[in-house]
Amino acid sequence: MHISDYEKIVGKDIIHELKLISNKLKKKKIQCINSTKVGGGVAEILSRLIPLLNDLGIDATWDVITADPDYYNVTKAFHNALHGRKVEITQSMFDKFVSTGEDIAKRTDIYGDIVFVHDPQPIMLVEKKSNSSKWIWRCHVDVSSPYMEVWEFLRRFIEKYNCSVFSSPKFARELEIPQFLVAPSIDPFSEKNRELTPEEIDSVLKKYGIEKEKPIITQVSRFDYLKDPLGVIDAYRLVKKYIDCQLILAGNRAADDPETDIVLQDVMEKKGDDPDIHILLVEPERNDFDVNAIQRASDVVVQKSIKEGFAITITEALWKARPVVASAVGGIPLQISHRYSGILCHTVGGAALGIREVLNNPEYAKRIGRNGKEHIRRNFLSTRHLRDYMLLFLSLDNPEDIVYL
């Protein structure tokens, strides 16, 4: 993809602005470092943004650290601990982190004027920081209520960076270094978000045995009690009293989540023999395309979560101009203005009422869907992410509140 391809989506004016900003970074070498080239949100974002930065004439590169599996077991445990999950952390895990971190630092060539390190795995590279380079630590994890021993351990490395970046104030913790905010984004050309033909959408509906003629209510999320799939079934049943509709609960199996099977079992039990409830375990390799088609085929998309991060599935649904009914938790109110670009709810009854209103009023549904798409276009696409990152790089040499470039 080229930056000019985005003109037809965000407008010439926005692309012109990106070019103006990028001109100020032409002399900088940006080195991004993370722990994987494929899989996961960080790799997905970098694989999109690095070519766009290059296309804007910025010398940005992307390096990946390597380590043995034991190290990744430790960092996985740290990741869960940062999320506040109960995990056993031993002294030998801290020792392993430090010894491998030192080894990674020895093997990794640092050449950037700006070194942009993502997440905890490569965090110890900062020990190689020199006076001539600026270092940024990008945290993609919600560290608002971590297992403190792990946080305090990592903090001594984090505070050696020039600044840090978090996705939301809700995910951050107090630090001695500046903390910038860069919200997540979706890419309009990715497999999960690109336009689909009616034939492509129909092929997915056919594959899962979903009727086209009956209104479709969908929730896309992993099978987790915090996403309240049982509450969604309750809401669907309240709607079903008045409107003959179908419910799709679509998700995939998270390899690191042992709870999935227990939740799925409860969901299947609650579904009973209702043929209009479709529980879809989407194969990972088909996930993006199938989810795209299912979202586009839906008459209303629901996210009745009890707790949420940013809720990127809501961003995706709004981008597809779907009317969305979602709980007012986590990042959802940032994306939805109640009754203007979607409907916010707090209870099963509220969700059911919102769904009925949308299904019974197609014009209203179209209007809020259109507004939602516009909000995402302006605030949550990869072009905005690109702009924020460029400003972040510029801020390292320009810490003032008002900067004339």
Partner 1 sequence: MSRWTAKAKNPFDFFTSVKLRELTGKKACNLRELTAIIKEVPGSAIYYHTHVFLQKKQRLSPEPPNDFAYWISHVLGEYKLGEELASIDICEFSTIRELRERIITRIESHLFDRKESLRYAPPGREFEFIKAHSFVVPTGFKARSLKEFTMILEKITIHSIYFHIFEARLRLEKGINDFSFWIGTSANAPEVAHKIATLDPYTFTMEGLRRKIINLVADWGNEELKK
Which of 54, 337, 350, 367 is the binder for partner 1 (CB under 8 A)?
A: 337
For residue 405, state whether it binds partner 1 (rule: CB under 8 A): yes
For residue 281, state whether it binds partner 1 (rule: CB under 8 A): no
For residue 272, state whether it binds partner 1 (rule: CB under 8 A): no
Q: Are 358 and 364 in contact (CB under 8 A)?
A: yes
Nearest to 129 by CA among 145, 107, 111: 111
Which of 61, 179, 190, 203 is the binder for partner 1 (CB under 8 A)?
A: 179
For residue 27, state whether it binds partner 1 (rule: CB under 8 A): no
Name the burial class of residue 238, with classes exposed (0-12), middle (13-18) and buried (19+) by CB atoms within 10 angstroms of its CB. Answer: middle
Which of 5, 8, 20, 244 is the binder for partner 1 (CB under 8 A)?
A: 20
Q: Are 335 and 308 in contact (CB under 8 A)?
A: no
For residue 172, state whether it binds partner 1 (rule: CB under 8 A): yes
Q: Which region among 44-52, 102-110, 126-134, 170-178 touches partner 1 (by CB under 8 A)?
A: 170-178
Least separation in angstroms between residue 175's CB and partner 1 is 8
For 352, list phi and psi in degrees, rounded to 5. Answer: -65, -40
Q: Which region among 16-24, 94-102, 118-126, 230-238 touches partner 1 (by CB under 8 A)?
A: 16-24
Contacts 24+ apart (CB under 8 A), 3-7: 3/52, 3/55, 3/56, 5/189, 6/188, 6/381, 6/382, 6/383
Q: For residue 359, what are its two tokens?
A: 């299904």
**Which of 215, 330 has the CB closer to partner 1?**
330
Name the burial class of residue 262, with classes exposed (0-12), middle (13-18) and buried (19+) by CB atoms within 10 angstroms of its CB. Answer: exposed
**Which of 83, 170 has the CB closer to partner 1?**
170
Q: Which region among 131-139, 198-206, 266-274, 384-392 touches partner 1 (by CB under 8 A)?
A: 384-392
For residue 178, state whether it binds partner 1 (rule: CB under 8 A): yes
- CB count within 10 Å of CB 30 equals 22
3-class secondary structure, 172: coil
Cα–Cα distance, 88 to 120 (Å, whole number): 18
Least separation in angstroms between residue 387's CB and partner 1 is 6
For residue 340, state whether it binds partner 1 (rule: CB under 8 A): yes
Across 108-183, where does the E strand assignment appear? 114-118, 134-138, 163-166, 179-181
Which of 86, 209, 269, 402 is the binder for partner 1 (CB under 8 A)?
A: 402
Nearest to 367 by CA among 391, 340, 334: 340
Q: Which region among 163-171, 205-213, 248-256, 268-276 touches partner 1 (by CB under 8 A)?
A: 163-171
Least separation in angstroms between residue 308's CB and partner 1 is 11
Which of 88, 109, 174, 213 is the binder for partner 1 (CB under 8 A)?
A: 174
For residue 401, state whether it binds partner 1 (rule: CB under 8 A): yes
**Which of 223, 393 has the CB closer to partner 1?**
393
Which of 2, 8, 16, 107 is the binder for partner 1 (CB under 8 A)?
A: 16
**Which of 14, 245 has the CB closer to partner 1?**
14
Least separation in angstroms between residue 27's CB and partner 1 is 16
DSSP structural state of residue 12:
H
- According to DSSP, the residues that pair with 338 across neighbouring strands are 342
Write the CA distances from 55 to 19, 23, 50, 187, 383, integer angstroms. 10, 12, 9, 16, 13
For residue 169, state whether it binds partner 1 (rule: CB under 8 A): yes
- Provide the binding-site residues for partner 1, judged by CB under 8 A: 12-14, 16-17, 20-21, 24, 166, 169-170, 172, 174-175, 178-182, 337, 340-341, 371, 374-375, 378-379, 387-388, 391-392, 394-395, 398, 400-405
